[in-house]
Structure 1
Amino acid sequence: MDYTTLKKAGEKWGVTPRWINYYCSSGRISGAVKMGTVWLIPKNAEKPIDGRTKEARRNRNGK
């Protein structure tokens, strides 16, 4: 499987590497693996839905 870094995933998804780190540590990116101090993210991983947006609230409420 091909992996990417926090920085590259952040550029792809339009968020900071810190957010990617949060997503990985909370288990929201499936297939992400921590090797030492570095998170490896599958290149084909999808961006998790940000729970602070209207879209996420709609998905949570089933509307």
Structure 2
Amino acid sequence: MDYMTLKEASEKWGISARMINYYCADGRIPGAVKMATVWLIPKTAEKPVDGRTKQGKELKHE
């Protein structure tokens, strides 16, 4: 399986690496694994829905 780093994922999804770090720590990115201090995210992973936005809140309650 191919993996990408937080920086690569942040460029791909258009959000900060810190936000992706929160998603990984919360288990919201399936298949993400932590190797020592680095998160590895599958290249096929999709961007999690942001629960802070109106759209994210609506999707959360479905």
Fold-level similarity (TM above 0.5): yes
Question: Which residue number in structure 1 is paired with residue 44 of structure 2?
Answer: 44
Aligned residue for 1:52, secondary structure, equals: coil
Question: Which residue number in structure 2 is paired with residue 14 of structure 1?
Answer: 14
1:29 aligns with 2:36: no
| Identical-residue share of aligned pairs (%) | 66
Structure 1 CA distance for aligned equivalents of residues 53 and 44 of structure 2:
23
The unaligned stretches of length 5 or more in structure 2 are none
Structure 2 CA distance for aligned equivalents of residues 4 and 23 of structure 1:
15
Matched to 2:36, the amino acid is: G
Q: May I ask how many residue pairs the two structures share in their alignment?
A: 62
The Cα offsets for residues 10-62 of structure 1, whole Å up to 9 and x where unpaired, read as 00000111011100000000000000000000000000000011111111233
Displaced runs of 4 or more, over 2 A: none
Matched to 1:32, the amino acid is: A
Give the deviation of 1:3 after TM superposition.
0.1
Structure index of larger Rg: 1
How large is the Cα RMSD of the aligned pairs?
Answer: 0.8
TM, length-normalised to structure 2: 0.94
